[in-house]
Each structure stands twice: as C-alpha cells, then as structure tokens.
A and B are shown apart, each in its own frame.
Chain A
C-alpha cells in the first residue's frame, strides 16, 4: 500500500468512526424528553378520531 493509500484509508475510516462516536455520545448524553415516546403515552379517547 502506498502512503497516499494509507492516508486515504486512515482519513476515511477515522472520519466515519469519529463521527459515529461523537453522535452516540451526543445521543446518550442528551436530556431525556419530558414525555415518553408515543406508544406508552396515555391520550384522551376523544382525541383518537383525529389519528
């Protein structure tokens, strides 16, 4: 492998690995939303016809 090939590989693999790591840290450290996601949320029965 040439030096340029090594650089291409390291930059490409390093970039996607760093991006994923950064994203996962942001996701896992984000504040939880005030309400749970949709499926367990109680809703008024009268609102159901709007869905």
Chain B
C-alpha cells in the first residue's frame, strides 16, 4: 500500500526561487542604496566591507541553514524547534529553535502592513492619485495619512488603507493554505522573474533620464551614479567600526539568514538534493537584485531629480516620500511609479509568505494540526499581532518596537546561535560532509576554517557591537567611548526629555507574552516528539 507525503518542492529551481524570493525585499531596493550612498559610512569602504561580510558571514551561514534544514527534514522535522530537537538531542535542544518560530511570525506582524502600503501605493500610482505636485511636504503628508501616523487607530477610520491591509493579509493566507508547491513555489516561480523584468524596465528608464532639468546640469543620472558609487576615502572608512557594522548587518538582513526561513524551506528537500549550489544560487539572485538592480535605480533617480538631500532620509522616506515625487515629475510617471511599487509589492509578498511557513510547519508537526487547523491558528496569532501594529500607528511606534526587538536583535541572536550549534552541537566535520551530500559543487576547503572559526568570531563581534550601539547607545569610538541609551530603550524605561512610551511598553509586553506562548507550544510539541 502506498500513499503520498504531504508537501514539498516540485523542482530545484522552485526552492531556489522561493529562498531568493524570501531574501529579496524592500531592503534590496531602498535600504541598500541608501547605505552605499551615505557620505559618512558609505562608498567604496562600505562595498568592500559588504562583500567581505558576504563571503565570511552571509554565504557560510546560508550554507549552514540549508544543510541543517535538509538534515532536519530527513529526520522528519520541518520547523526550527523540531530541527534543533533532532540536532541537539537534549531536552533543551528544541528551545534553541524558539527564535526560529517567533522571529518570522513576529516580523510578519508588521511586514504585512508595509506590504499593504506597497500595494496601496501601486494602486494609487497607476490611477494617478500619487501626482501631488512639486511640494515635498505633500508627499510626506500623504504617506503619514496613508499609514495613520497622525493618531492611534487612524487607519481603522480610513477605508482604503485598511482594505489594502485586510486584502493582503487574507491573500497571504490563501497562498500559504495551498501549500509549498502549489502556493509558495508557484508564486515565487512567477513572481521573481516578473520582479526582475519590472526592475530591468525601471533601470532602462532611469539610465535614460539624462539631465531632467537642463537648468541644473549638475543634477544628472551620471552624477547620481557617482554620488552613490564614488569610493571616497577607503582607508578611513575601513577603520571605522560603523562601516563594518552597517555592512555586516545589511548582509545579514538581506539574505534572510537567522530568520528561521531557509532552515524550514530546506527541510522539504531530500537527502541527495543539492544544497551547496542551491544556496549559492539563491544568494547570487539576492545580490543581483540588491547590487545590480537596487544599486542602480533608486538613488541615481532621486539624485537626478532632487539632488543629494533627497537621498538621505531612511528607507521609508526614500521609498514613499521621495520616489513618488520623482515619478510625478517624469513622463508616464504614474505608469513607472505603479511598476515600481508593484515591484516592491511582489518582493514583499514572496518574503511574507516565507515568514508564515515556519509557523505553519511548527503548528503542524508540533501540535499535530492539519493544514486547515494550522492556517487558522496562525491566522489568529498573526491577526492579534497585526492588530497591535495597525491600531497603534501614531509615529509607527508599535511597528518600530517589533522591528527593533524581533527584526533586529532577534535575527542577530538566532544567526549567532545557529553558527555555534552547527560547529559545536552538530560538528563542523560532520556538517561539512552533510553539506556535500548530493552536492553539485564543492565548497572551497578554506571555508571549513571560515565556518569553524572566522564566521563565529566575526558574527559574535558584530552582534556585540550591534547590541552595544543599538541598546547601550555606544558611540562606536574606542578612543573616547560614550554610552547614551537609544530611543528603543528610552521608549521602555524613559529618560531626561524622553518619557517612556505606553505603546512601546505594551508592544514589548505583548512580545514577551508571545514568546512565552511559543515556549509553551514547544514544550507540548517536545512531549509529542519524545513519544514518537
């Protein structure tokens, strides 16, 4: 008698596209260009630090996640807690995977909200609703209005933004309900090529902008490219810890390593399916979108129309304030603007789907739920989290709090744990052999040393620096160190001139409750796994 296994990838290209789709997001097209263009910490020094970080942290951890994921899958586990349970083989092992459940689900709380902004902006742009003239304040006001930043609960009173959010939230769960191959893989196999084609169309448009205003010949695409890519003082930059911190953090976040996603996706592979070439290809696809496309579209376009001041303002400001103004100023701008926000929306969908699957996998194998039950329970959990983010929209405080504690600190912590578990619980030698099972590519031998010593040391150093800077408020100076608590900390404990934020406290309390609830579920799942 035969039957069929429940779910899995239908092709190698499918899983590569899904992992690449998970990695390619808003950061590729908005955050990375802003970092390269930064006058203090950008330029050639940033790029050198970025590529070194990619080689000694990003790529190795990527291979580690693919390898451990596939190993966990062969042991019958698809979720982070289950996979670490199989690897560590001690009662505490499954709790190592706690972050692999709460990070993707927690990030989804706010990521789906941003995703709905992209869809809303695409819709408005195609319809000509984003042409607000030449006043930058009008675009900032429109963004604040659309995202409900004026007051808590504002978005609930606005018909369209809330409808976009609801629609995107439901759409994600419809896709995830269809499963790995018919849902995630199908969307990514179509979505990623469409995303690249749209990006190439936009790239062609930007490269042919020339000098949009002949009265200001200094504002040209060529000078915009120079603003972004001119190397500045490389020696000085490379001796600046902030450059390394920003470069390593960008590599870490852009590849979705330490997220709990790759390990889950790879768990649906079979023992003889390649992971080395697949991991490298997914990484290369992400880097192509980030460096090759993201690095050439947004900043040169913003510089050519508005000059250097438009580029410095952060991810949201560049994407939702500056770029709509630029599209409004070019022929067929509503069309190109619509395409750009569609691109962001596709990138966001493929990423948000990847945040749900680790949760689905855990609820199915940990609690024994079927697909319908796991989708319903995860839908309920994320609905509560999303409601918190959507309702407390004033100054995007709830969104910022979840992003900091889960999306920044949590991911770094999980990535660091992952590399230590690989080396000291699984074993470097065993992991090396496991990675090459069915491999179509040999990893250079030098990487064994990198995996064993360089990656953990580098990642630990970067993680400590990240915490010291973003939690303790270190000024990144070794000569004259100073510590000033950062906004996320002051939001919780208050300080001179910075009262504690009730919303930030409530959000942090909710995240603690969520983590405790997840730990309880893992405890229960452990009993189920032990009884196998």
Give A residues with C-beta under 8 Å from B.
Answer: 1-2, 4-6, 8-9, 12-13, 15-17, 19-20, 22-24, 26-28, 30, 33-45, 48-51
| In contact, A39 and B287 (Cβ under 8 angstroms) | no
- Smallest beta-carbon distance B457→chain A, Å: 26
- Smallest beta-carbon distance A31→chain B, Å: 8
| In contact, B76 and A5 (Cβ under 8 angstroms) | no
| In contact, A37 and B47 (Cβ under 8 angstroms) | no
| In contact, A20 and B285 (Cβ under 8 angstroms) | yes
List, in ascending order, chain B residues with CB within 8 A of A27's CB.
Answer: 12-13, 16, 277-278, 281
- Smallest beta-carbon distance A12→chain B, Å: 5
Closest 3 CB pairs of A and B: A1-B226, A38-B8, A39-B8
A interface, over-half SS: helix
| In contact, A33 and B438 (Cβ under 8 angstroms) | yes
A-B CB contact pairs (8 Å), 23 listed: A8-B44, A8-B47, A8-B230, A9-B296, A13-B296, A16-B287, A16-B291, A16-B292, A19-B288, A22-B284, A23-B280, A26-B281, A26-B441, A27-B278, A30-B274, A30-B440, A33-B438, A37-B11, A39-B5, A39-B7, A42-B2, A42-B3, A49-B532
Q: Look across to chain B and name the residue whose beta carbon is closest to the beta carbon of A2.
A: B230
Known: A2-B230, A9-B225, A19-B284. A39 touches B291 (CB 8 A): no
List, in ascending order, chain B residues with CB within 8 A of A45's CB.
Answer: 1-3
- Smallest beta-carbon distance A40→chain B, Å: 7
The listed residue (A6, A8, A40, A51) touching B4 by CB distance below 8 A is: A40
Give A50 to B77 CA distance when docked, in angstroms: 10
Q: Look across to chain A and name the residue whose beta carbon is closest to the beta carbon of B220.
A: A1
List, in ascending order, chain B residues with CB within 8 A of A4's CB.
Answer: 44, 230-231
List, in ascending order, chain B residues with CB within 8 A of A37's CB.
Answer: 8-12, 15, 268-270, 273
What 1/0 flags go to B478-495 for Cβ under 8 Å of A?
A: 000000000000000000
Give A50 to B230 CA distance when docked, in angstroms: 57
| In contact, A38 and B441 (Cβ under 8 angstroms) | no
Give A23 to B292 CA distance when docked, in angstroms: 16
Give A51 to B365 CA distance when docked, in angstroms: 9
Cβ-based interface call for B177 (8 A) = no
Q: Look across to chain A and name the residue whose beta carbon is closest to the beta carbon of B7.
A: A39
Known: A5-B229, A39-B181. A16 touches B6 (CB 8 A): no
Known: A17-B288, A37-B8, A37-B270. A1 touches B225 (CB 8 A): yes
The listed residue (B9, B47, B274) touching A38 by CB distance below 8 A is: B9
- Smallest beta-carbon distance A38→chain B, Å: 3
Q: Look across to chain B and name the residue whose beta carbon is closest to the beta carbon of A6.
A: B229
List, in ascending order, chain A residues with CB within 8 A of B440's CB.
Answer: 26, 30
List, in ascending order, chain B residues with CB within 8 A of A8's CB.
Answer: 44, 47, 229-231
Q: Look across to chain A and name the residue whose beta carbon is closest to the beta carbon of B438.
A: A33
List, in ascending order, chain B residues with CB within 8 A of A6's CB.
Answer: 229
Cβ-based interface call for B180 (8 A) = yes
- Smallest beta-carbon distance B440→chain A, Å: 5
Cβ-based interface call for B415 (8 A) = no
Give A15 to B277 CA distance when docked, in angstroms: 17
List, in ascending order, chain A residues with CB within 8 A of B1's CB.
Answer: 44-45
Q: Look across to chain B and name the residue whose beta carbon is closest to the beta carbon of A19.
A: B284
